[in-house]
C-alpha cells in the first residue's frame, strides 16, 4: 500500500490511496475508578489540532473522527477534563459543530 504523510499545522495525515485520514495520539488519565479524562495536561497543540480538524472537515477535505483510546482497567467512560484545561471544551464543541465525530474505547 502506498502511503505518504502530510503535515497540516500540527496534525499528521495519512493518505492510503483510498481516503485520507487525520490522526493524532494523546494521553488520558484516570479521574476516578471508572472515569478517564482528557487531556492529562493543558496544551496549545491539542486545541489547535481539534480546530484544524474541524476546519478541514467543514471544507469537505477530510472526514473527521477523534477516537480516545484508553488502556485503564475498570474505566467505563471518558470525559473532558476541563479542570486541567479550561479551553478544551470550546475546541471540542467547535470541531463537533463542523462535523467531527468523537468516540472513545477502552482496550482493557
Give me the domains of the chain, ranges plus CATH numbers: 25-106 (3.40.1350.60)
What is the per-residue pLDDT across 33-68, written as a single tens digit (0 to 9) for each?
899 888 877 778 888 888 888 988 898 877 788 888
Element containing residue 19 per DSSP (H, E) = none
d(CA 71, CA 25): 13
| pTM, two decimal places | 0.74
Crossing angle of helices 44-58/88-97, nearest 10°? 10
pLDDT higher than threshold 80 for residue 23: no
**Of 12 and 81, the one with more pLDDT:** 81
| Residue 46 CA, distance from chain mean position | 8
Amino acid at each position: 500500500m502506498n502511503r505518504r504523510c502530510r503535515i497540516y499545522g500540527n496534525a499528521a495525515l495519512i493518505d492510503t490511496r483510498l481516503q485520507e485520514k487525520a490522526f493524532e495520539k494523546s494521553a488520558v488519565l484516570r479521574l476516578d475508578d471508572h472515569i478517564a479524562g482528557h487531556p492529562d495536561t493543558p496544551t496549545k497543540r491539542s486545541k489547535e489540532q481539534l480546530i484544524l480538524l474541524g476546519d478541514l472537515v467543514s471544507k469537505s477535505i477530510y472526514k473527521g473522527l477523534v477516537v480516545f483510546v484508553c488502556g485503564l482497567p475498570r474505566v467505563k467512560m471518558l470525559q473532558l477534563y476541563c479542570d486541567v484545561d479550561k479551553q478544551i471544551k470550546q475546541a471540542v464543541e467547535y470541531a463537533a459543530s463542523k462535523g467531527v465525530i468523537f468516540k472513545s474505547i477502552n482496550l482493557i
